Structure 1
Amino acid sequence: MRPGTIAERHLVLPTAADTTALGRDIGTRLAPGDLVVLAGPLGAGKTCLAAGVGEGLGVEGPVTSPTFVIAREHPPLPAALGGRGVVLVHVDAYRLGVGTAASPDPREVAAQLDDLDLDTDLTRAAVVIEWGEGVAEHLAAEHLLVRLDRSGPDERREAHLHGPARLVGP
């Protein structure tokens, strides 16, 4: 597919390990300047997917929810240890009110995200934003949106990817 092509992909992810594996696959495709927006209800697997992205990028330390600090930076491991040289900035917009019943105006949340200078981070890092749908897309000319959901009696996860074909994958 040629650069700039938008693609979509739907996957069923029976286990948390499958969600992590999807994140790992996405992480292997990311470069500085890439924005990944994660959406879905509580427990859908956003942080699990972000942890996989960190593995795919080869970053230091475990990638865990940055809920209480809002944003966490993960530097790359040395190349000899699997690092790809790309910093991961992992953001959780939930505390900005996105996931609450009394969600604030999306423009207010976007302004709070702007205060984090994520557009500056995008010049040197891949940025993953949980709870970012509808408020973070303006940070980059293009982005990958991953909507996660749980459905059915077995609560299986499903992922819907929409964005640049090079990030969506096969």
Structure 2
Amino acid sequence: MSAPVWERSLEVRTAAETHALAAALGAVLETGDLLILTGELGAGKTTFTQGLGEGLGVRSGIISPTFVLVRIHPNLPEGPRPGGPDLVHVDAYRLESAAEIDDIDLENTMDSAVTVVEWGRDRVEHLSDSRLEVELHRTRGGAGGLPAAEQAEPADPATHASVLDFDTDDDDEPRTVVIRGFGPRWAEPPALPGRLPETLPQTPERNS
């Protein structure tokens, strides 16, 4: 599996900041872009996708597609990006292989949309030679990101279906957002708000 070309990490203090960061990213996304969202339950993946939708100028009402697997949000002619890409929002939690991903025909919408896949790691990378990976980590008690074991997917599908991103009690809990760029489309990182660390060294291994 290829290594990222660059990596950036920043802190967001509230759900509104998460939304605003994603909206800034959404404003620079183009047709054919693929984003993979990773984070434990309640990390804010749906809130982030709602921000992407605002930046893309698609129809509002974005919720996690847990039960239907895929939701398509069309571009709004009266929005900030008329004629821009639609948003295809996927929940891949119940999809166990690349073959199952192929069964839902995401390749047929890649040419007209930005595709955002929750729980997509190791499932959808074959769809494009370039992608953004976004990890959202909840911080508890100011202790930084969660250990890897706590970021794993839930073993019980019922738990996955019943927990919504940004539970009411945790709306303004700080998050760490890590964004990694892969492939020629993301040879350079997008301009985003906030103070961000330097990009990773441009070694041959990282550009493979």
Q: Post-superposition shift, 1:167?
A: 5.5
* Secondary structure in 1 matching 2:93: helix
- CA RMSD, aligned part only? 1.7
Any residues of structure 2 matched to 1:41-56 within 5 Å, and which? 41-56=40-55
Q: Post-superposition shift, 1:152?
A: 2.9
Q: Post-superposition shift, 1:16?
A: 0.7
From the superposition, tell whether residues 41 and 14 of structure 1 become closer, same or farther in structure 2 (CA, over 3 Å). Answer: same
- 8 Å contact kept, 2:58–2:76: yes
1:138 counterpart residue number: 126
Residue 81 of structure 1 pairs with residue 79 of structure 2:
yes
Q: Post-superposition shift, 1:75?
A: 0.6
* Secondary structure in 1 matching 2:90: strand
Any residues of structure 2 matched to 1:28-107 within 5 Å, and which? 28-78=27-77, 80-84=78-82, 85-96=84-95
* Secondary structure in 2 matching 1:59: coil
- 8 Å contact kept, 1:71–1:92: yes
Higher Cα Rg: structure 1 or 2?
A: 2
Whole-angstrom distance in 2 between the partners of 1:159 and 1:81: 27
- Using the aligned pairs only, state the percent identity: 47
1:113 counterpart residue number: 101
Residue 162 of structure 1 pairs with residue 180 of structure 2:
yes
- 8 Å contact kept, 1:24–1:57: yes
Whole-angstrom distance in 2 between the partners of 1:36 and 1:22: 14
Q: How high is the TM-score relative to the length of structure 2? A: 0.69
From the superposition, tell whether residues 149 and 65 of structure 1 become closer, same or farther in structure 2 (CA, over 3 Å). Answer: same
Q: Give CA deviations for 1:16-52 in whole Å, capped at 9, x if unaligned.
A: 1111111101110111110000001000011110000
Q: Post-superposition shift, 1:136?
A: 1.2
1:101 counterpart residue number: none
Q: Give CA deviations for 1:43-65 in whole Å, capped at 9, x if unaligned.
A: 00111100000000000122111
- 8 Å contact kept, 2:36–2:131: yes
- 8 Å contact kept, 2:134–2:178: yes
* Secondary structure in 2 matching 1:55: helix
Corresponding residue pairs, total: 154
- 8 Å contact kept, 2:58–2:79: no
> Which AA in structure 1 matches 2:76?
L
Whole-angstrom distance in 2 between the partners of 1:140 and 1:167: 17
